[in-house]
Structure 1
Amino acid sequence: MPNVSLAKFSEFRDKSFLLVDDLSEFRSAIRQMVEAFGATDIDLCSSGEEAIEKLRRKHYSAILCDYTLGEGKDGQQILEEAKSLEIIDDSQIFIMLTAESTAQLVMGALEFEPDGYLVKPFNKEMLYQRLVRVIHKKEVLNSIYKKINTKDPSSILKICDDYISSWDGSVLPILKIKGKFLLEFKRYQEAEKLYTSLLKSHQLPWIYAGAGKANYFLREFDESLKYFEVIIKENNTNVDAYDWIAKIHRSLDNDEAAQQILIRAADLSPHSVRRQQSLADVSYLIEDIDVATDAYKQACMLGKYSIFRRSKDYLNYAQIQIKKASKDCVGRERVTFAREAVAMLDIMTYLFPEEWNCLFSCNIKRSQAYILLVKKDKAKMICRQTTEIVLKHKLSLSKGDCTQFSDLLVTLGCTREIELLVQKYPDSFSMPKEEDYD
């Protein structure tokens, strides 16, 4: 333990801690360490779901969270969900704990800006030094955040300016906060002016990134690209910069270039569900089916417990498999593709149980897959269930949706279902001609 006075420990006595780890012995070990520092307000939990609930109910000074938590949300997903739901803020400390020292996992977690990470095993001294460093850094800025108790942009920016004019030390941390708020308040011209002014004396990645974002939102895409390319030149593992470069290329309709950038970013840090979604979407758009298939599958696997999961990922992955099975495939290969589609769609029905429009699309694809598996009775049953959904719930179906479902019902000989749909939605569905039936 470092040689510290009791006065030093006093900075822990008013701090509340949340310790998140699925292993009870490790939770106990961390608790003993934190208690040795003088902390008394300590809560423990073993899962991501429990952690989110505790963060909703209580404002903790510090969260020490294991990366790998078994089944359910992992540490990265806790951090990204808590930030997205705004149940943690910049005044709180979030430190990631992990035995996974691979670059990919650590990089994936750092994208969501934890205040640091510790690789297991670590001792009391290592934890103490990390916490003290972050506490001191936070306390400098927390005096600003405590005053920002208003949603009024002008008041918030005035508080920042007052601190800048009276601050004794470096004003860069305060300027960083101001720049963040300018972007958040969509005051992009002011943000661009601030960042370009700072670049005259400080060439830091966050300043280049801020200038790049401001120019992006001002639709100065070429200028924005230059700033992010500087970041990549200095650090070719900065995945956030790659993501922004891809966004710029998408805005310029350079979809192939965007895909190549996202492939590089996903290779560096594949554990971001949103990056895999972006890669899948652009690959699907340019009809690079192999890359789209892999990326959608990754997005589905990573997104299972994430707030960023999308039904679209499951639907598009299944659609690709159905198309493969519908083409020139025969025998075992066709069965494999169709079963892949069914398996992913079954997961989707579990994850999105009452999103009726999603279930409508899901069931159409499930029926198509079962037809390919020569299980028409199963396909008919699903179509009848889907008809009940359409009749019971007010769905916003396009003409294409209605036509696709009608064609499927005709293929399966579901005359009664078509009659019911025509009775309730005569403008959307119509009775097929007799020769349309098999």
Structure 2
Amino acid sequence: MNKIDFSKQRILIVDDQKPFLALLKSVLNSAGAQANSIVTAKSCEVALASCRKEKFDFIICDLHLGSNRKNGFEFLEELRETSLLKPTTVFVLVSADSQRPTVLGSLEKQPDEYVVKPFSQAQLILRLEKAHARKLALAPIYKHIYAKDFPMAIEVCKQVIQADNRYKELVGRLLAELYWTTTQFTEAQKWLNSYSEDHKRTWLGVSKAQTEMLLKNYEIAIELANHALRKNNLLIEAHDIIAQSWFELGKIAEAEIAIDTALRLSPFSIERLFKACTYARKNENYEKIIGLTQNIWECSKKSVYRNLSYLCAHVRSYLEVAQHTSDNKVKGRFQQEALYALQRYRHNENVYIQDEFDFDIFEELIKARIHSQNGKLFQSKQAMTQAQNSVAAKFSDFPLPLAPDGITALLDLGEFEDAQLITEALLASGKLSDCNTLALLADATGRNNLQQEHFFKYNQQGINFYSEGKFAAAFSAFSEAQKSAPVNIGIILNLLQCSLRLLQKTAKHDPALVNSSKKTYRLLQNMTMLDKHRQKFNLLALELEKIMDIR
């Protein structure tokens, strides 16, 4: 193994403890590093600023960098996501925490080395040299992977293996992963089957199981993953494979057990938490989703994957329980829990301008949904309209983190046209991807699908009849549409407009129509409306005053 000439290396050290920063700097100076070639940072935020200015040869980062601060593997994720690492950069994660979930969770992020404190100078330098030699040898492959030129990366892998490189075992595993990335699952199967079974190749059984799962051979995948676990029950990927395979086979309870095992071993994977949500929902285990969504937010809020949609998903998970229970006491308890959770986040979480989020609007949307769940449609309508007016005053478009609750509330209120507009904007954003948001919208759409079809059918008939001057037929069509959307303001205004035209056609007014018009007028007069509806109502009110006493 070649010794590292540290005098030519640029090194970044990240640790929130000043004594350890000084110690590491002294160790590296003793190994030959120049004092001016070592950069230190006490937080990931400061370290990221340094990484944006230059790409380092070595980064040595402590795992825990203070409460409520970005940690070491979140730092590594962000460096990768924002392409701030060179293909040859060696990233070393350091920690005094030897607890299994921490160690396995850190290793799952695949740093080049993971070093547990305390360690000697010789141990650290040896680990750096090994990682550096490995990175240099595999740099041609990683260069193409970083550039997302996967076909070329596959060709280089084959060349390295043929050259009998000392790292050919690692490259062999990497080649299988590249075949998965490029959906060449049969090629991956052929490649992995060319290896002989060896107790040292713990990766081989898991890779074979992953390949069989991708080929939809789920029973074989489960068998291979279990075989790998009998050799080493800490293989997290094997538990993931078993969980997904059981899920695909329709064995949801078994899938939940397997994913729970994986989460106990390594609880910091957002992707795994999302899968656990999917399995729990399929098993109608809605209360479990509350804890899972909370963990998703906690795992993501300081990372590059921070997304306020995850915070919203946790709050709305309480309403998902309420939506699926027939026990009114249980429903009321979880509705209150949703409001308590919202208030906790309001006081504890930072919201930035770029987030396009507002807690007051979110609270109005949650209240609108709660009123709707309790059958209080007019109260729900008032809260929803207040939220819509606030959005119009504060934002140019409906904020994406709030859109799912807005769509759900509007669908439940029968405001299908407004819901459709927000849905189209959400789809156009390309940010409708997480399973919890998709499940919420699918549930809301499913329970309102028949009403929506009925509404659009008769609403369009009413519009057509009105344009033809057939006001009585239009009134009947709009009345039929209202059966599917009792508090749809547009429909109520259309009915009032039809009544007005019918009254204007005769000198002798139908008493029933007069009373109906007065009742509708008073109802609308006391309702909070969108500006477009208020303007139409005011115009209709002026016309009504000319032909009848509407007081």
- What TM bracket, shorter-length normalisation? 0.7 to 0.9
Partner of 1:15: 9
| Contact 1:63 1:94 (C-alpha < 8 Å) held by counterparts | yes
How far 1:194 moved relative to its partner?
A: 0.5
Partner of 2:391: 386
Of 147-156 and 97-106, deviating more is 147-156
Of 379-388 and 288-297, deviating more is 379-388
Partner of 1:434: none
How far 1:366 moved relative to its partner?
A: 5.3
Residue pairs, 1:339-354, within 5 angstroms: 339-344=340-345, 350=351, 354=355
How far 1:16 moved relative to its partner?
A: 2.1
Any idea what SS the aligned residue of 1:386 has?
helix
Of 356-365 and 54-63, deviating more is 356-365
| Contact 2:293 2:317 (C-alpha < 8 Å) held by counterparts | no
Of 248-257 and 263-272, deviating more is 248-257
The number of equivalent residue pairs is 416
Residue pairs, 1:254-265, within 5 angstroms: 254-265=251-262
Q: Distance in 1 between matches of 2:371 and 2:409?
A: 19
Any idea what SS the aligned residue of 1:270 has?
coil
| Contact 1:315 1:362 (C-alpha < 8 Å) held by counterparts | no
Q: Give per-residue Cα distances to partners, 1:271-306, cap 9 Å, x unaligned.
A: 333323322332233221332222222222222112
From 211, 215, 227, the equivalent of 1:214 is: 211
Q: Distance in 2 between matches of 1:295 and 1:351?
A: 24
From 239, 247, 253, the equivalent of 1:242 is: 239
Q: Distance in 2 between matches of 1:195 and 1:180?
A: 11
| Contact 2:8 2:33 (C-alpha < 8 Å) held by counterparts | yes
Any idea what SS the aligned residue of 1:140 has?
helix
Partner of 1:277: 274
Q: Give per-residue Cα distances to partners, 1:68-120, cap 9 Å, x unaligned.
A: 11232111211233334443365322211112221111111111111222223
From 22, 31, 35, the equivalent of 2:29 is: 35
Indicate how the Cα distance of structure 1 residues 243 and 416 shifts in structure 2: closer, same or farther if over 3 A, else same. Answer: same
Indicate how the Cα distance of structure 1 residues 308 and 416 shifts in structure 2: closer, same or farther if over 3 A, else same. Answer: same
Residue pairs, 1:145-156, within 5 angstroms: 145=142, 152-156=149-153
Any idea what SS the aligned residue of 2:118 has?
coil
Q: Distance in 1 between matches of 2:86 and 2:243?
A: 28
Q: Distance in 1 between matches of 2:221 and 2:197?
A: 17
Partner of 1:117: 114
Indicate how the Cα distance of structure 1 residues 151 and 122 shifts in structure 2: closer, same or farther if over 3 A, else same. Answer: closer
Of 128-137 and 19-28, deviating more is 128-137
Any idea what SS the aligned residue of 1:328 has?
helix
Any idea what SS the aligned residue of 2:194 has?
helix
| Contact 1:352 1:358 (C-alpha < 8 Å) held by counterparts | no
Partner of 2:527: 415
Q: Distance in 2 between matches of 1:144 and 1:218?
A: 26
How far 1:19 moved relative to its partner?
A: 0.9
Indicate how the Cα distance of structure 1 residues 89 and 202 shifts in structure 2: closer, same or farther if over 3 A, else same. Answer: farther
Q: Distance in 1 between matches of 2:312 and 2:274?
A: 13
| Contact 2:206 2:238 (C-alpha < 8 Å) held by counterparts | yes
Counterpart of 2:134 in structure 1: which amino acid? K
How far 1:32 moved relative to its partner?
A: 1.5
1:95 aligns with 2:92: yes
Of 202-211 and 262-271, deviating more is 202-211
Any idea what SS the aligned residue of 1:96 has?
strand
Partner of 1:328: 329
Partner of 1:223: 220
Counterpart of 1:30 in structure 2: which amino acid? L
How far 1:23 moved relative to its partner?
A: 2.1
From 42, 50, 54, the equivalent of 1:54 is: 50
Q: Give per-residue Cα distances to partners, 1:163-208, cap 9 Å, x unaligned.
A: 3333364632332333232222222221111111114567622222
Q: Distance in 1 between matches of 2:136 and 2:96?
A: 29
| Contact 2:286 2:320 (C-alpha < 8 Å) held by counterparts | no
Q: Distance in 2 between matches of 1:80 and 1:163?
A: 27
Q: Distance in 2 between matches of 1:168 and 1:99?
A: 34
Q: Distance in 2 between matches of 1:357 and 1:334?
A: 20
How far 1:148 moved relative to its partner?
A: 7.7
Q: Give per-residue Cα distances to partners, 1:234-259, cap 9 Å, x unaligned.
A: 11122222122222233333332221
| Contact 1:242 1:262 (C-alpha < 8 Å) held by counterparts | yes
Larger radius of gyration: 2
Indicate how the Cα distance of structure 1 residues 16 and 290 shifts in structure 2: closer, same or farther if over 3 A, else same. Answer: same
1:157 aligns with 2:165: no
Q: Distance in 2 between matches of 1:60 and 1:408?
A: 61
Indicate how the Cα distance of structure 1 residues 249 and 83 shifts in structure 2: closer, same or farther if over 3 A, else same. Answer: farther
Indicate how the Cα distance of structure 1 residues 49 and 235 shifts in structure 2: closer, same or farther if over 3 A, else same. Answer: same
| Contact 1:353 1:359 (C-alpha < 8 Å) held by counterparts | no
- Unpaired runs of at least 5, structure 2: 374-378, 416-485, 490-522, 537-551
| Contact 1:94 1:116 (C-alpha < 8 Å) held by counterparts | yes
Of 362-371 and 241-250, deviating more is 362-371
Any idea what SS the aligned residue of 1:343 has?
helix
Q: Give per-residue Cα distances to partners, 1:347-367, cap 9 Å, x unaligned.
A: 788269545799977751155
- Unpaired runs of at least 5, structure 1: 1-6, 425-438
Q: Distance in 2 between matches of 1:330 and 1:201?
A: 55
How far 1:368 moved relative to its partner?
A: 4.9
| Contact 1:409 1:417 (C-alpha < 8 Å) held by counterparts | no
Indicate how the Cα distance of structure 1 residues 222 and 365 shifts in structure 2: closer, same or farther if over 3 A, else same. Answer: same
Let me know the Cα RMSD of the aligned residues. Answer: 4.2
Partner of 1:402: 410
How far 1:37 moved relative to its partner?
A: 0.9
Counterpart of 1:402 in structure 2: which amino acid? L
Partner of 2:449: none
From 192, 195, 220, the equivalent of 1:195 is: 192
| Contact 2:87 2:146 (C-alpha < 8 Å) held by counterparts | no
